[in-house]
Structure 1
Amino acid sequence: MIDHRRHHPALVLFKIGKLIRNSIFIIFILFVFQADNDGPLFVYGRYAFLLIFALSIVSIILNWLMTTYTLDDQRFYLRRGIFSKTDQSIPFSKIQNINRHTSFFHRMLGLTSIRFETGIAGEDATVSFEVATKKEAARLESMVQEHKESLDVEPDTADGTEDSSETENAPISQKQPEQRTIHFQPTRRDLLKASMTSFSFLLLIPLLASLYYNVAEFFSLEERLDSIGASLLGSPWVIAIAVAVIIAASFTFGIIHTFIKYGKYEISSDSERVHIKKGVVSEASFSIAKERVQAVEMTQTFSKRVLGLAEVKLISAGSLSVGAEDLNISSLYPFLPKQKAYALVAELLPGYQIQEDMQRLPRRALWLRILKPSWFWLIATAALFFFQPQFLSISQTWWIASILLLIIIFTSRLLDFLHTRYLLNEELIQLKDGGFTSTLFVTKREKIVEVEITQNRIQRAFGLSSLKTATRARPIHTSYLNDVPDALAGNFRLWYRDRTKEIKLDGSS
């Protein structure tokens, strides 16, 4: 085992940069906007801020000095702590996902970050290198991968000295990196669709509004803008041009935002892992072993259903986040054409063949859903009747809002009935439900760790039941399917009992 080494020195700059970024608002208030304010609150506030800022920098440097790591051919060895030392050992066999993230800061210095996700719960669930050279990140990743490959193809050497001597004399060939197959790269048309479907063009309006209110709080902009606005609003042509400019700027902003986020998106795979890359300015990559995929989830919002798009997510036993940022990297691609999504899942995971021909719920399930009282509507109607708000000077607005809410609720229940489908075959189960947003859940029988079949009195009268499945993930992923026929519930119970033929129990020796 090699000696412990510290993380890359640029980690100190990285953490100081994050500290400045998190403190920028306070810095502007104390040292820019209120720089001439000699009040005790601001004077002592500046001293307190400088003291806390200096202590934070000292803490960052000490943490870097006291945090070390090393590894052998089987595990990571981590050591950290300033006053209280903590030693941690994480076996490579526990690592499930490998994430890479290269931000703009990393690219400027030719660095990257790498994160190894395990199935262990708690704060010690990951081994994170926030700043590392690309060579070091590749070395760490290759050692983990080589260990996993050695476990998969471990030779049987307990059959005598003759076989072992042949193994010793055999030439050692270095394994070449396996060629990846690229399955999907978005075109310009795909990116344009994504910008429209994600409504990212609407982000500009709240962004400008937030910027205005933050600036107006310290500068007297309202009086100046009131005089300018009064002169501009007097001309209809100026209003039309201003609206056109805002719309054009919003769509341009949405397209640029989508291109930066999904411009270099790539989905590829080899025989063992699925690889996802994304990002133009800030790059992120993720890989997951195909055997670690617990389920596939396909989601369609109302707008995506109209355009024939869908989002496919891989549900894994490990976390799929990269650091503190929510990169949504568990999604294969949020705006895949529906048929392309089915084909892509079949290419990446041959064991998950999604079938569109599924069984619907019986009509009595619709009557049960219509007759079921809506407590949300009753409470909302009571609140509307009590407060009786008025909108656009319309009297008795409360009962109009109550009727509209009731229509929305029954429309959602009708859509949920039309979308709800199910399918059981020898290995897979497919469950689909949802109103305005539908979700298709597909998993293997061996991946389900818990099932529950329930039936209330009303369902018993209609001959219906509810199913619940729990799949291993972090956190546990739970799926529901309500108001299915009793015959399906019985078949599901028998189907799940055959799981014992597929799973392998640990500790059998």
Structure 2
Amino acid sequence: MTKKRRYSPLVMLFEFGKLGKNSFFFVVFLYVIKADSTSLFITYGRIIFLLVFVLTVFSIIYQWFTHQYELDDKSFHLYKGLFNKSERIIPFSKIQNINRRAPLFHRIFNMTSIHFETGMIGDNAAVTFKVISQKEAERIETFLKSATKHNEVYPNDGFDEPPVEVGHHAPNRIIHFQSTRKDIFKASFTSLSFLILIPFIGSFYFKTNEIFDVRHTAEGLFERMISTSWAVTITVIVLTIASVAFGIVKTFLKYGNYEISSDSDYIYISKGVIDETAFSISKERVQAIEIEQSLLRRWFGLAGVKLTSLGSLSSGEHKLEVNTLYPFLPVHKAYAMIADILPSYAITKEMTRLPKKVFWLRMLWPSWFWLIVTGFLLYFKPTILKLEQAWLILSVVLLFWILGVRWLDFLHTRYRMNKHFMQFKKGVLKTSLFISKREKVIEVNVTRNLVQKRLGLASIRTINRGKPIRHAGVDDVPIEFANAFVKWYKDRENEVTVE
């Protein structure tokens, strides 16, 4: 067992910074905007704010003095309290994911944060080090992985401390992908990040106007920008260039330095330029794989690969997207990467389409939404652009839109089952290919409505563990396939392993 350790004192500085950030609005409102106010509401508001601020400062200091941690060969031991002491034990076997995050504050002091996520639920479901040195984080992570592997091989030998090798890049780690400038450029356009600038400017304007009342100044500036045709042209050109540049910079900051690597047991993902994020997941904890393609991504031949895992993919207050093996991979590279990283997963490109009778079933199935909207349009008969028959045009357009969605859904829906795997593909504008091993599926079900019974069809579903639980399936498959699907699942008995 290692010795008890106190958390880094920089945790206090980090919490003070968060306190200052959260207090900024109240300080500006109470002491700047309402500086001359003698209202009782403002007076008592200042008193309450100061009391809460001082108590929070003392609470931060108290927590640092009373919180400690240590590790033994099987678990974390977390201590807190001065007079009423408590101890929380988190077994290493419960750890599902390991997340690292190093925003600007941490990088200034050469520190990081690390988040050990378990499969449990609740506020105490994770072990979090908000500010910790790079060396200590590496030591704990390597200690945990080494202890876990040692306990799997020698479960009861009672050793004191597993061998630890500190180093961010293990010698046996294989790098599968590193983002380039070309990848960043593609990502900025396929993610439509260049469209964010205008809403960002609008949000900044409204927030600023609430405090400093800049409405009249902004209106005067806008009038000058549209006063002549050449001013409009220059404004459009400047905004276009600024939007594209903003999108590229935003994408670079988010996906720059993106790296995907793996060793024999773990998958590692790291990204970020200023705000660095790193994530590792045990290959054994991967429950399913999902390959997603939006309309733009299909045009560019790109795809995103997501992993369904047992643990949550969040780090404190920040939601992480690192369960995605880079959302803008070329399709051929995505398939090749899955084969390299998770060779136990087999993706079959050839899949079975739905029967032709399903096409007519979906196209002729009544749309209650269309009937209700058409009823309202018929009753009110709105006139648009002086067209008295506008209601009829809207109804027809809506009908064709619904039929188009149904046609695309039928076109993209496919399925495939082999000895150990199940694949489902669905979607309209955005398609999703879901792949899971039979041993990772915890439940299946088959349902049939009256129409499906008459046509010899059924709906099938699978359930995989995860946060949240992952449901997948396909509607209107032949009943023969549904029966084979149930038998396929029952044959998993010899594959199930307890996790």
Q: Which amino acid aligns with 1:250?
A: S
Query: What CA deviation, in whole Å up to 9, does each residue of 1:91-147 have, x standing for no partner?
Result: 112212111111111000111111111122222221111111112111111110111
Mapping for residues 181-330 of structure 1, pairs under 5 Å: 181-330=174-323
Over 3 Å counting, the alpha-carbon distance change for 1:155 and 1:112 in structure 2 is closer
User: In structure 2, what is the Cα distance between the partners aligned to 1:56 and 1:376?
Assistant: 53
Q: For 1:334, what is the secondary structure of its paired residue?
A: coil
Structure-1 residue corresponding to 2:17: 17
Query: Which residue is 2:146 aligned to?
Result: 146
Q: Alpha carbons of 1:397 and 1:58: their partners in 2 closer, same or farther (altered >3 Å)?
A: farther
Aligned ranges for residues 134-173 of structure 1 at < 5 Å?
A: 134-154=134-154
Cα RMSD (Å) = 2.4
CA drift at 1:174: 8.1
Change (3 A) 1:110 1:403: same
Q: CA deviation at 1:220?
A: 4.1
C-alpha spacing 1:156/1:226, structure 2 compared with 1 (3 Å): closer
Change over 3 Å in CA distance of 1:228–1:477 after alignment to 2: closer
* SS in structure 1 at match of 2:328: strand
Normalised TM-score (structure 2): 0.92
Q: Runs ≥4 in structure 1, deviation > 6 angstroms?
A: 172-176, 386-390
Q: What pairs with 1:62-461 in structure 2 (closer than 5 Å)?
A: 62-81=62-81, 85-154=85-154, 177-382=170-375, 397-461=390-454
Alpha-carbon spacing, 1:380–1:33, altered in 2? closer, same or farther (3 Å): farther
Q: 2:439–2:495: 8 Å Cα contact kept in structure 1? A: yes
Q: Which consecutive residues of structure 2, in runs of 5 or more, have no partner in the other structure?
A: none
Report the Cα distance in structure 2 between the residues aligned to 1:372 and 1:97, rounded to whole angstroms: 45
Q: Which moved more, 1:76-85 or 1:350-359?
A: 76-85
Q: Which amino acid aligns with 2:226?
A: L
Shift of 1:41: 2.8
The Cα offsets for residues 266-311 of structure 1, whole Å up to 9 and x where unpaired, read as: 0001111110000000111111111111110111111211221111
> Displacement of 1:389 after TM fit?
6.4
**Residue by residue, what CA displacement relative to the aligned partner does 1:166-204 show, whole Å, maximum 9, x if unpaired?**
xxxxxx998794421110112211111100011111111
Q: Check the 8 A contact 1:178/1:270 in 2, yes or no.
A: no
Q: Which residue of 2 aligns with 1:498?
A: 491
CA 1:179–1:257 in 2, change beyond 3 Å: closer, same or farther? same
User: What SS is found at the alignment partner of 2:327?
Assistant: strand
CA contact (8 A) 1:274 1:348 kept: yes
The TM-score with structure 1 as length reference comes to 0.91
Unmatched runs of 5 consecutive residues or more in structure 1: 158-171
Give 3-state SS (helix, strand or coil) of 2:319's partner: coil
Using the TM superposition, name which of 219-228 and 94-103 deviates more.
Answer: 219-228
* Larger displacement relative to structure 2 (329-338 or 208-217): 208-217
Higher mean C-alpha displacement, 257-266 vs 391-400: 391-400
Contact 1:116 1:127 in 2 (8 A): yes
1:40 is matched with: 40
**1:148 aligned partner, one-letter code:** T
Q: Deviation string for 1:319-355 (max 9, x for gaps)?
A: 1222221121100101111111111111100011212
Q: Is the 8 A contact 2:286 2:308 kept in 1?
A: yes
CA distance in 1, matches of 2:218, 2:114: 48
Letter in 2 for 1:14: F
Q: Aligned-pair distance for 1:488?
A: 0.8
* Partners of 2:151 and 2:407 in 1: CA distance: 51
Once the two structures are superposed, what CA deviation does each residue of 1:366-396 show, in whole Å capped at 9, x if it has no partner? Answer: 1121222333334444555667666667656
Distance verdict in 2 for CA 1:253–1:121, change over 3 Å: same
Is the Cα contact below 8 Å between 2:225 and 2:235 reproduced in 1? no
Cα distance change, pair 242–154 in 1 and its aligned pair in 2 (3 A): same
* Amino acid aligned to 1:498: D
Residues 87 and 379 of structure 1: CA distance in aligned 2, closer, same or farther (over 3 Å) = farther
Kindly indicate whether the alpha-carbon contact (under 8 Å) linking 1:464 and 1:486 is maintained by their aligned counterparts in 2: yes
Query: What amino acid sits opposite 2:142 in the alignment?
Result: S
Quick one: structure 1 residues 24 and 377, their matched pair in 2 at CA, closer, same or farther if it must change by over 3 Å? farther
Higher mean C-alpha displacement, 183-192 vs 148-157: 148-157
Is the Cα–Cα contact under 8 Å of residues 416 and 424 in structure 2 kept in the other structure? yes
